[in-house]
Amino acid sequence: MIRIDGSDGGGQLLRTALALSVVTGEAFEMTSIRASRPTPGLKPQHLACVSVAEAVSEASVEGAKEGSSKLRFSPTTVRSEPIHVDVGTAGSTTLVCETVLPVAVALDDPLELTVTGGTDVRWSPPVDYLRYVKRPLCSAFGVEFDLDVRRRGFYPAGGGRVVMTIHPADPTGLAFDSARDPISALDCYSVASESLRSGNVAHRQIEGVKNALAETDVEVPLMSSATYAESTSSGTVVVLVARAGESVVGFNAYGEKGMPAERVGAQAVGQFRDWAASDVPLDRYMADQLLVWVALAGGGISVPVVTNHVRTNIDVIRAFGFDVRLRERATGAVVERVE
């Protein structure tokens, strides 16, 4: 059984371990889970990830309870029967989807996953990031999935629902380890709950994006859409998507009580402006998410910033027997699988 110390990382270490355990069939034990976090141990969102991994691999699991600092996970056979999981309140549905996506390399038939919870909540990718950034990016290296957003779920009530269909895949090596191509397209997806329609919030967020872009030297036309969605809790989100060659990059901002809608849009542009000033082909959050795919498919990616988060994630990947190396540069690094 593979032993993993989870004290120096967060939920990403657990999600990576679960994904690789399901794909390789190797059991693992993780201790001191999220020990460095203000509220350590497993939370409902992490337990939902465990539940999905358990269902898809018919695993034997010990320690899967809220607050637990230790988990043992022993998978058996990957199966393709439909899976339903409720994260609870506004726990992130997108992080659950991210956990199970790598099972594509072990599937014989498509797998349908239905997740109920938060679709657009802080500290996790918005569902439109998953749909408009990660989906086309994964398609570039041979991994296909469909995503149907049935209902939006904002903090604190959640109640959103997404259906992800993962198709069997034989991915090619990733090729995001060189300087990026010029920016060729910009799309803005602005969403607000129906309760905020009277304030024209979704449209005002787009105006904030346009005004902030006017202050940059980027001259690519902006395509935008404003949506008002039925939801239990009020909430807003902006996702700005840039395309540069084969790369797709995303930046997002969430609305807050008392924050002008225009400022929400400007925040997303601020993240975009920082990325556009660099030569890396990926945003920092997607770079983290693709580390597991470097292990499974080969090739390499550029990591804009070498954080402790990146290093500990690579340690987990190596624990499962994948030869992945980190080549640091003047800024950032390249992560690649050694063939």
The pair of structure tokens assigned to 200 is 């024209």
- Residue 10 has a pLDDT of 84
Domain 2-171 has what CATH class? alpha beta
pTM: 0.95
Burial bucket for residue 156 (CB in 10 Å: 0-12, 13-18, 19+) = exposed
Residue with tokens 């499974």: 296
Determine how many CB atoms are found less than 10 A away from the CB of residue 225. Answer: 12
- Residue 238 has a pLDDT of 98
The answer to whether the annotation marks 55 as part of a ligand binding site is no
DSSP 154: B
Is the domain spanning 185-276 CATH 3.30.360.20? The answer is: yes
Residue with tokens 């691999």: 57
User: Is the distance from CB of 103 to CB of 56 less than 8 angstroms?
Assistant: yes
Closest to 241 in 3D by CA, of 181, 307, 171, 190: 190
* Confidence check: pLDDT of 132 > 80: yes
The answer to whether the annotation marks 266 as part of a ligand binding site is no
Q: What are the pLDDT digits (tens) for 173-229?
A: 999 998 889 999 999 999 999 999 999 999 999 999 999 999 998 889 999 999 999
Under the banding of pLDDT at 50, 70 and 90, the label for residue 85 is very high
Which has the higher per-residue pLDDT, 329 or 291?
A: 291
Helix (H) or strand (E) holding 48, with range, is helix 44-57
pLDDT, mean of residues 98-125: 96
Under the banding of pLDDT at 50, 70 and 90, the label for residue 332 is confident
The answer to whether the annotation marks 140 as part of a ligand binding site is no
The answer to whether the annotation marks 48 as part of a ligand binding site is no
The pair of structure tokens assigned to 318 is 């190596």
The answer to whether the annotation marks 35 as part of a ligand binding site is no
Which positions ≥6 away from 30 have C-beta within 8 Å?
A: 4, 5, 6, 13, 14, 17, 70, 71, 73
For the chain, the domains span 2-171, 185-276
**For residue 146, what are the β-bridge partners?**
165
Residue with tokens 């000033």: 277
Residue with tokens 């992130």: 92
pLDDT, mean of residues 62-85: 96
Residue 180 sits at the vertex; the CA angle it makes with 179 and 183, to the nearest 5 degrees, is 155
* Confidence check: pLDDT of 161 > 80: yes
Active site residues: 309
Our CA dihedral for 130, 104, 296, 289, rounded to 10 degrees, sits at 20
